[in-house]
Amino acid sequence: MSAGGDRRWGRFGAAGLLLRAADPTDPDIPLVLLQHRAVWTASGDTWALPGGARDSSEDASQAALRETQEEAEIRPADVVVRAVRVTSRMPGTVWHRPGLDMRHVSEMMRRLRPDQKHSDDPAVRARTIPPLVQESTDAVEWTYTTVVADAPRALETVPNNESLELRWVPETRVADLPLMPAFAQAWANGLRSRPVELVVDVANVLGSRPDGWWRDRAGATARLLEELSTTMPRTVELPDGFGWVARAHAVIEGAARRAEHSGPFVVHRASGSGDDAIVDLATDLATDLAPGIDIDLDTGPAAVPAGDGAGEGEAGGSRRVVVVTADRGLRARLPPGVVAVGPRALLD
């Protein structure tokens, strides 16, 4: 409880799981797992994320995954955590512990004497029986943490008694439901994702891991693309929110051009500078020109009509172009509006 009388559940804070999965009918718009809360729960008969109070021994991710397993029977091993974000704070909180427990009984028995008589005087009763509601002596800050994760598909769910229903909802339809007020605010303030066209600077991502890639650049490139392919489609954390990646491009150069890939990445084999190829590709994507598959950048990317998937996206407004690189020089050359993130955004 705060000084203003606001109440939250969970002495150590609370956490919920924002779980996305690809929609096989429309890969650009992910599905989100929502819980229709039972009427008897806090903010009952509204929709929110599965979650609940944290235990003293667990972090936010562990709490969100545990609660989701309890409320939906989704195993932690079946999801991949992408990000952890505090989405609500309440400073100046004191914790309350209502009800009768064994510590309360023990303290009550210690204070009672065989010859003690009952009294209706509150002052006497206060000296005799400890209060049923106990509170902390020091103010703390209560937080709700949203744990963002991906599932390989819309997993089967089994609701417990805290749920009226569990449902995989297209992300564009989430706000249409009667949401729990706190979740509605967090959803509008940055939890919702936008469709992303991803461009990976493969040489830079390879160089971020000293695993001997230089001994066989083509082989290391093929292995990296295979590794990244297993995570697609996916959520990616951006500087100002989240993106949903259903389409991705990989630019390879030099000896790595021999790498073979048959997965979801559109492969671009740069005949010269990889940085130049990435700038050209990002510029074309940002102006609604989509390249063809596995082309050689000697002749430049093949154009498709504007709006053919590379422009407006239903999941959150215009599609964003995101380049994965830690190269500061390359970042400085990217056209306005193109977002840059480091390799760690993909290498979880």
Segments making up each domain of the chain, as ranges: 8-102+131-191, 194-290+317-346
Residue pair 217/303 in contact (Cβ under 8 Å)? The answer is no
pLDDT at 238: 95
Q: Name the CATH superfamily, with its identifier, for domain 8-102+131-191.
A: Nucleoside Triphosphate Pyrophosphohydrolase (3.90.79.10)
CA distance 284 to 208: 27
Evaluate if residue 96 carries a pLDDT over 60.
no
* Rounded average pLDDT over 54-78: 95
- Averaged pLDDT for residues 153-168: 95
Q: Which fold has domain 194-290+317-346?
A: Rossmann fold (3.40.50)
Q: Which of 84-98, 220-234, 261-275, 328-342 has the lowest mean pLDDT?
A: 84-98
Residue 324 has pLDDT above 50, yes or no: yes
* pLDDT(178) > 80: yes
Q: Distance between terminal CA atoms of the chain?
A: 36
What is the pTM for the complete model shown? 0.79
Band (341; pLDDT cuts 50, 70, 90): very high
pLDDT for residue 50 is more than 70: yes
Asked if the model's pLDDT at residue 283 lies above 60, the reply is: yes
Burial of 207 (0-12, 13-18, 19+ CB in 10 A): middle
pLDDT in tens, 11-34: 788 999 999 999 999 988 999 999
